[in-house]
Amino acid sequence: MINNFSLILLIVTLCSGIIWVMNFFKWSEKKAINISEEIKIIPAKSFEKSTDFISSIFPLLLVVFCFRSFLYEPFQIPSGSMMPTLLVGDFILVKKFSYAIKNPITLNTLIKISKPKRGDIAVFKYPNNPKINYIKRIVSMPGDRITYNSYSKTIQINPECGSKKKCNNLLQITYTNIEPSSFIQIFNKNNNSFYKLSKEKEDVNVGFHLNTRKETIGKLTHDILLTTETVDQTDLYYQQDDQPLGSWIVPEGQYFVMGDNRDNSSDSRYWGFVPEEYFIGKAVCIWMSLKKQEGMWPTGIRSGRFGIIK
Protein backbone atom coordinates (compact mmCIF):
# COMPACT_ATOMS: atom_id res chain seq x y z
CA MET A 1 0.00 0.00 0.00
CA ILE A 2 1.78 3.13 -1.29
CA ASN A 3 0.96 6.66 -0.13
CA ASN A 4 1.29 8.47 -3.47
CA PHE A 5 1.17 12.00 -2.07
CA SER A 6 3.90 11.26 0.48
CA LEU A 7 5.98 9.64 -2.26
CA ILE A 8 5.69 12.73 -4.49
CA LEU A 9 6.47 15.03 -1.56
CA LEU A 10 9.54 12.93 -0.71
CA ILE A 11 10.82 13.06 -4.31
CA VAL A 12 10.36 16.83 -4.49
CA THR A 13 12.07 17.25 -1.11
CA LEU A 14 15.02 15.07 -2.15
CA CYS A 15 15.46 16.92 -5.46
CA SER A 16 15.45 20.32 -3.76
CA GLY A 17 17.82 18.92 -1.14
CA ILE A 18 20.32 17.83 -3.78
CA ILE A 19 20.29 21.32 -5.30
CA TRP A 20 20.64 22.82 -1.80
CA VAL A 21 23.77 20.70 -1.20
CA MET A 22 25.19 21.71 -4.60
CA ASN A 23 24.68 25.39 -3.80
CA PHE A 24 26.13 24.93 -0.33
CA PHE A 25 29.40 23.64 -1.80
CA LYS A 26 29.48 26.25 -4.58
CA TRP A 27 28.83 23.70 -7.32
CA SER A 28 25.79 25.32 -8.83
CA GLU A 29 27.61 28.30 -10.34
CA LYS A 30 30.02 26.11 -12.30
CA LYS A 31 27.22 23.80 -13.40
CA ALA A 32 25.11 26.77 -14.55
CA ILE A 33 27.93 28.14 -16.69
CA ASN A 34 28.61 24.77 -18.30
CA ILE A 35 24.98 24.23 -19.13
CA SER A 36 24.56 27.71 -20.62
CA GLU A 37 27.64 27.22 -22.81
CA GLU A 38 26.53 23.82 -24.08
CA ILE A 39 22.89 24.45 -24.95
CA LYS A 40 22.99 28.25 -25.36
CA ILE A 41 19.45 28.57 -24.12
CA ILE A 42 19.48 29.27 -20.39
CA PRO A 43 21.65 32.20 -19.30
CA ALA A 44 23.92 31.44 -16.35
CA LYS A 45 22.37 34.10 -14.14
CA SER A 46 18.86 32.88 -14.88
CA PHE A 47 19.87 29.31 -14.07
CA GLU A 48 21.52 30.46 -10.85
CA LYS A 49 18.33 32.23 -9.78
CA SER A 50 16.29 29.09 -10.47
CA THR A 51 18.60 26.85 -8.46
CA ASP A 52 18.79 29.41 -5.66
CA PHE A 53 14.99 29.47 -5.43
CA ILE A 54 14.69 25.67 -5.44
CA SER A 55 17.39 25.28 -2.80
CA SER A 56 15.81 28.02 -0.67
CA ILE A 57 12.56 26.07 -0.30
CA PHE A 58 14.33 22.84 0.70
CA PRO A 59 14.24 23.58 4.48
CA LEU A 60 10.52 24.35 4.25
CA LEU A 61 9.81 21.17 2.25
CA LEU A 62 11.84 19.12 4.74
CA VAL A 63 9.90 20.53 7.70
CA VAL A 64 6.56 19.94 5.93
CA PHE A 65 7.50 16.38 5.00
CA CYS A 66 8.63 15.46 8.53
CA PHE A 67 5.72 17.25 10.21
CA ARG A 68 3.13 15.65 7.93
CA SER A 69 4.71 12.19 7.91
CA PHE A 70 5.49 11.69 11.59
CA LEU A 71 3.71 14.33 13.70
CA TYR A 72 0.43 15.82 12.46
CA GLU A 73 -1.41 15.58 9.15
CA PRO A 74 -4.26 17.88 8.08
CA PHE A 75 -7.52 16.39 6.81
CA GLN A 76 -10.80 17.89 5.63
CA ILE A 77 -14.14 16.40 6.71
CA PRO A 78 -15.99 15.54 3.46
CA SER A 79 -19.29 14.17 4.81
CA GLY A 80 -21.76 14.49 7.68
CA SER A 81 -21.20 11.01 9.15
CA MET A 82 -19.50 12.39 12.29
CA MET A 83 -22.01 15.15 13.06
CA PRO A 84 -22.49 16.85 15.46
CA THR A 85 -18.87 16.34 16.56
CA LEU A 86 -17.43 17.14 13.13
CA LEU A 87 -19.14 19.03 10.31
CA VAL A 88 -18.64 19.05 6.56
CA GLY A 89 -15.93 21.63 5.89
CA ASP A 90 -14.05 21.17 9.17
CA PHE A 91 -10.27 21.03 8.77
CA ILE A 92 -8.69 18.84 11.42
CA LEU A 93 -5.23 17.83 12.58
CA VAL A 94 -4.59 14.11 13.04
CA LYS A 95 -1.90 13.05 15.49
CA LYS A 96 0.14 10.58 13.43
CA PHE A 97 2.14 9.15 16.35
CA SER A 98 -0.88 8.35 18.53
CA TYR A 99 -0.70 4.65 17.75
CA ALA A 100 2.54 4.07 15.85
CA ILE A 101 5.35 5.67 13.87
CA LYS A 102 5.05 4.43 10.30
CA ASN A 103 6.99 4.52 7.08
CA PRO A 104 5.30 7.49 5.34
CA ILE A 105 5.53 5.83 1.91
CA THR A 106 4.56 2.18 2.53
CA LEU A 107 2.69 2.87 5.82
CA ASN A 108 4.40 -0.12 7.43
CA THR A 109 4.69 0.19 11.21
CA LEU A 110 8.20 1.11 12.38
CA ILE A 111 7.57 1.66 16.09
CA LYS A 112 4.40 0.78 18.00
CA ILE A 113 3.41 3.40 20.55
CA SER A 114 -0.06 2.50 21.89
CA LYS A 115 -3.25 0.67 21.01
CA PRO A 116 -6.28 2.54 19.65
CA LYS A 117 -8.67 3.33 22.51
CA ARG A 118 -12.42 3.13 22.85
CA GLY A 119 -13.91 6.56 22.18
CA ASP A 120 -11.06 7.80 19.98
CA ILE A 121 -12.04 9.62 16.80
CA ALA A 122 -9.61 8.03 14.39
CA VAL A 123 -8.65 8.35 10.73
CA PHE A 124 -7.96 5.05 8.98
CA LYS A 125 -7.70 3.42 5.58
CA TYR A 126 -11.09 2.13 4.46
CA PRO A 127 -10.70 -1.68 4.60
CA ASN A 128 -12.58 -2.25 1.33
CA ASN A 129 -10.48 0.35 -0.51
CA PRO A 130 -7.27 1.40 1.30
CA LYS A 131 -6.83 4.33 -1.09
CA ILE A 132 -9.71 6.09 0.70
CA ASN A 133 -9.43 7.62 4.19
CA TYR A 134 -12.35 7.32 6.64
CA ILE A 135 -12.93 8.96 10.01
CA LYS A 136 -15.11 7.35 12.68
CA ARG A 137 -15.31 6.83 16.44
CA ILE A 138 -13.82 3.63 17.87
CA VAL A 139 -16.69 1.97 19.72
CA SER A 140 -15.64 -1.61 20.32
CA MET A 141 -12.29 -3.26 21.03
CA PRO A 142 -10.78 -6.62 20.09
CA GLY A 143 -12.60 -9.46 21.85
CA ASP A 144 -15.81 -7.46 22.46
CA ARG A 145 -19.23 -8.61 21.40
CA ILE A 146 -21.18 -5.59 20.19
CA THR A 147 -24.90 -5.61 19.44
CA TYR A 148 -26.73 -2.75 17.74
CA ASN A 149 -30.50 -2.44 18.23
CA SER A 150 -31.80 -0.74 15.09
CA TYR A 151 -35.16 0.06 16.75
CA SER A 152 -33.99 1.69 19.98
CA LYS A 153 -30.76 2.78 18.19
CA THR A 154 -28.62 1.74 21.15
CA ILE A 155 -25.57 -0.47 21.48
CA GLN A 156 -24.67 -3.20 23.95
CA ILE A 157 -21.09 -4.35 24.52
CA ASN A 158 -19.91 -7.54 26.20
CA PRO A 159 -16.16 -7.13 26.82
CA GLU A 160 -13.80 -10.11 26.45
CA CYS A 161 -16.50 -12.11 24.73
CA GLY A 162 -14.04 -13.47 22.21
CA SER A 163 -12.61 -15.68 24.94
CA LYS A 164 -16.09 -17.20 25.54
CA LYS A 165 -15.42 -16.96 29.30
CA LYS A 166 -16.94 -13.63 30.33
CA CYS A 167 -19.67 -13.18 27.77
CA ASN A 168 -22.23 -12.23 30.42
CA ASN A 169 -20.39 -9.10 31.55
CA LEU A 170 -21.78 -5.84 30.19
CA LEU A 171 -19.96 -2.56 29.67
CA GLN A 172 -21.93 0.29 31.22
CA ILE A 173 -23.59 2.28 28.44
CA THR A 174 -26.17 4.97 29.20
CA TYR A 175 -28.23 7.38 27.10
CA THR A 176 -29.99 10.64 27.81
CA ASN A 177 -33.49 11.34 26.52
CA ILE A 178 -33.90 11.99 22.81
CA GLU A 179 -34.36 15.71 22.06
CA PRO A 180 -34.62 17.82 18.89
CA SER A 181 -31.26 19.02 17.62
CA SER A 182 -30.42 22.23 15.78
CA PHE A 183 -29.70 20.29 12.57
CA ILE A 184 -31.99 19.52 9.66
CA GLN A 185 -31.43 17.06 6.84
CA ILE A 186 -32.51 17.66 3.26
CA PHE A 187 -32.51 14.88 0.67
CA ASN A 188 -31.12 15.88 -2.72
CA LYS A 189 -30.74 13.91 -5.93
CA ASN A 190 -27.01 13.30 -5.51
CA ASN A 191 -26.45 13.57 -1.76
CA ASN A 192 -27.87 14.67 1.57
CA SER A 193 -27.41 18.18 2.90
CA PHE A 194 -27.26 19.13 6.57
CA TYR A 195 -28.01 22.61 7.86
CA LYS A 196 -27.74 24.09 11.34
CA LEU A 197 -30.66 26.27 12.39
CA SER A 198 -30.26 29.41 14.45
CA LYS A 199 -33.03 28.17 16.77
CA GLU A 200 -33.74 24.52 17.59
CA LYS A 201 -37.52 25.02 17.27
CA GLU A 202 -37.34 27.03 14.07
CA ASP A 203 -39.94 25.90 11.50
CA VAL A 204 -38.62 23.80 8.64
CA ASN A 205 -40.46 23.83 5.32
CA VAL A 206 -38.16 21.32 3.64
CA GLY A 207 -36.32 18.38 5.13
CA PHE A 208 -36.72 17.28 8.73
CA HIS A 209 -35.17 17.77 12.15
CA LEU A 210 -32.48 15.44 13.39
CA ASN A 211 -32.69 14.38 17.02
CA THR A 212 -29.85 14.24 19.52
CA ARG A 213 -28.91 12.45 22.70
CA LYS A 214 -25.77 11.87 24.74
CA GLU A 215 -24.19 8.43 24.69
CA THR A 216 -21.89 7.42 27.56
CA ILE A 217 -19.71 4.36 27.03
CA GLY A 218 -17.90 3.64 30.27
CA LYS A 219 -16.62 7.07 31.29
CA LEU A 220 -16.67 8.61 27.82
CA THR A 221 -19.61 10.84 26.82
CA HIS A 222 -20.33 12.26 23.38
CA ASP A 223 -23.30 13.58 21.39
CA ILE A 224 -24.91 11.54 18.62
CA LEU A 225 -27.55 12.37 16.01
CA LEU A 226 -30.58 10.22 15.20
CA THR A 227 -33.57 10.40 12.91
CA THR A 228 -37.01 8.86 13.22
CA GLU A 229 -37.75 9.36 9.51
CA THR A 230 -35.38 6.64 8.29
CA VAL A 231 -34.91 2.99 9.20
CA ASP A 232 -31.62 1.11 9.22
CA GLN A 233 -31.06 -1.07 6.17
CA THR A 234 -30.38 -4.12 8.30
CA ASP A 235 -30.34 -6.33 5.20
CA LEU A 236 -27.10 -4.53 4.27
CA TYR A 237 -25.45 -5.19 7.65
CA TYR A 238 -22.15 -7.04 7.63
CA GLN A 239 -23.03 -10.64 8.52
CA GLN A 240 -20.38 -12.35 10.64
CA ASP A 241 -20.20 -16.13 10.67
CA ASP A 242 -22.02 -17.78 13.60
CA GLN A 243 -23.46 -14.45 14.78
CA PRO A 244 -27.05 -13.16 14.55
CA LEU A 245 -27.79 -10.16 12.38
CA GLY A 246 -26.78 -6.95 14.16
CA SER A 247 -24.31 -8.67 16.49
CA TRP A 248 -20.57 -9.00 15.99
CA ILE A 249 -17.55 -10.34 17.91
CA VAL A 250 -14.55 -8.14 17.18
CA PRO A 251 -11.53 -10.26 16.13
CA GLU A 252 -8.12 -9.83 17.72
CA GLY A 253 -6.16 -6.95 16.19
CA GLN A 254 -9.30 -5.32 14.77
CA TYR A 255 -11.79 -2.64 15.86
CA PHE A 256 -15.46 -1.74 15.43
CA VAL A 257 -16.10 1.89 14.45
CA MET A 258 -19.26 3.97 14.09
CA GLY A 259 -20.19 7.49 13.01
CA ASP A 260 -21.78 9.87 15.53
CA ASN A 261 -24.46 10.65 12.93
CA ARG A 262 -25.80 7.14 13.45
CA ASP A 263 -28.43 7.04 10.71
CA ASN A 264 -26.18 8.66 8.10
CA SER A 265 -22.95 6.73 8.47
CA SER A 266 -21.35 3.93 6.48
CA ASP A 267 -19.40 2.16 9.20
CA SER A 268 -18.56 -1.23 10.73
CA ARG A 269 -22.24 -2.17 10.81
CA TYR A 270 -22.15 -2.35 7.02
CA TRP A 271 -18.61 -3.33 6.04
CA GLY A 272 -16.97 -4.93 9.07
CA PHE A 273 -13.88 -4.30 11.15
CA VAL A 274 -10.79 -2.07 10.88
CA PRO A 275 -7.40 -3.81 11.23
CA GLU A 276 -5.06 -2.06 13.64
CA GLU A 277 -2.42 -1.50 10.95
CA TYR A 278 -4.95 0.55 8.92
CA PHE A 279 -5.17 3.34 11.51
CA ILE A 280 -3.44 6.58 10.50
CA GLY A 281 -3.89 8.52 13.73
CA LYS A 282 -6.22 10.22 16.18
CA ALA A 283 -8.11 13.43 15.36
CA VAL A 284 -7.14 16.01 17.98
CA CYS A 285 -8.28 19.48 16.92
CA ILE A 286 -10.16 21.62 14.41
CA TRP A 287 -7.88 24.33 13.01
CA MET A 288 -10.31 25.80 10.45
CA SER A 289 -13.94 25.33 9.46
CA LEU A 290 -15.66 26.39 6.25
CA LYS A 291 -19.39 26.77 5.73
CA LYS A 292 -20.11 24.23 3.03
CA GLN A 293 -22.18 21.24 1.97
CA GLU A 294 -20.94 17.94 0.64
CA GLY A 295 -19.74 18.32 -2.95
CA MET A 296 -20.29 22.11 -2.97
CA TRP A 297 -18.10 25.21 -2.74
CA PRO A 298 -17.72 26.92 0.68
CA THR A 299 -19.70 30.07 1.41
CA GLY A 300 -17.88 31.37 4.47
CA ILE A 301 -15.99 30.52 7.67
CA ARG A 302 -17.35 29.08 10.92
CA SER A 303 -15.26 31.12 13.34
CA GLY A 304 -16.57 29.45 16.49
CA ARG A 305 -15.51 25.87 15.70
CA PHE A 306 -11.76 26.06 16.28
CA GLY A 307 -10.46 23.97 19.15
CA ILE A 308 -9.87 20.54 20.68
CA ILE A 309 -11.96 17.59 19.45
CA LYS A 310 -13.72 15.65 22.21
Same domain, 301 and 158: yes
pLDDT band at 28 (very low <50, low <70, confident <90, very high): very low
- Among the listed residues 96, 136, 153, 292, the single catalytic one is 136
Same domain, 43 and 99: no
pLDDT (average), residues 266-288? 96
- Residue 100 belongs to a domain: yes
pLDDT digit string (tens) for 38-69?
444 445 555 566 677 777 888 888 889 889 88
Q: How far apart are CA 20 and CA 60, in angstroms?
A: 12
Instruction: Give the mean pLDDT of the chain.
Output: 85
- Among the listed residues 81, 98, 181, 268, the single catalytic one is 81
Closest to 152 (Cα-Cα) out of 96, 91, 97, 232: 232
pLDDT digit string (tens) for 209-246?
899 999 999 889 999 999 877 777 889 999 999 899 99
Q: Catalytic annotation on 163?
A: no
For 24, residues 6+ apart whose C-beta sits below 8 A from its C-beta are: 55
For the CA atoms of 281, 221, 254, 1, the dihedral, rounded to the nearest 10 degrees, stands at -20
Same domain, 263 and 174: yes
Write out the residue range of the structural domain in which residue 16 sits. Answer: 4-56
Same domain, 23 and 135: no
CATH number assigned to the domain comprising residue 108? 2.170.230.10
pLDDT at 10: 84
For 125, residues 6+ apart whose C-beta sits below 8 A from its C-beta are: 1, 107, 131, 132, 133, 134, 278, 280
pLDDT band at 166 (very low <50, low <70, confident <90, very high): low
Q: Catalytic annotation on 214?
A: no
Same domain, 173 and 33: no
Same domain, 95 and 48: no
Same domain, 107 and 52: no
- Residue 74 belongs to a domain: no
* Residue % of the chain over a pLDDT of 90: 48
- Residue 39 belongs to a domain: yes
The answer to whether 141 and 161 have CB atoms below 8 angstroms apart is: no
DSSP letter at 47 equals: H
pLDDT digit string (tens) for 239-265?
999 899 999 999 999 999 999 999 999
pLDDT at 145: 94
Tally of domains in the chain: 2
SS3 content of the chain, % helix, strand, coil (to 5): 25, 35, 40
- Residue 219 belongs to a domain: yes
pLDDT at 135: 97
- Residue 228 belongs to a domain: yes
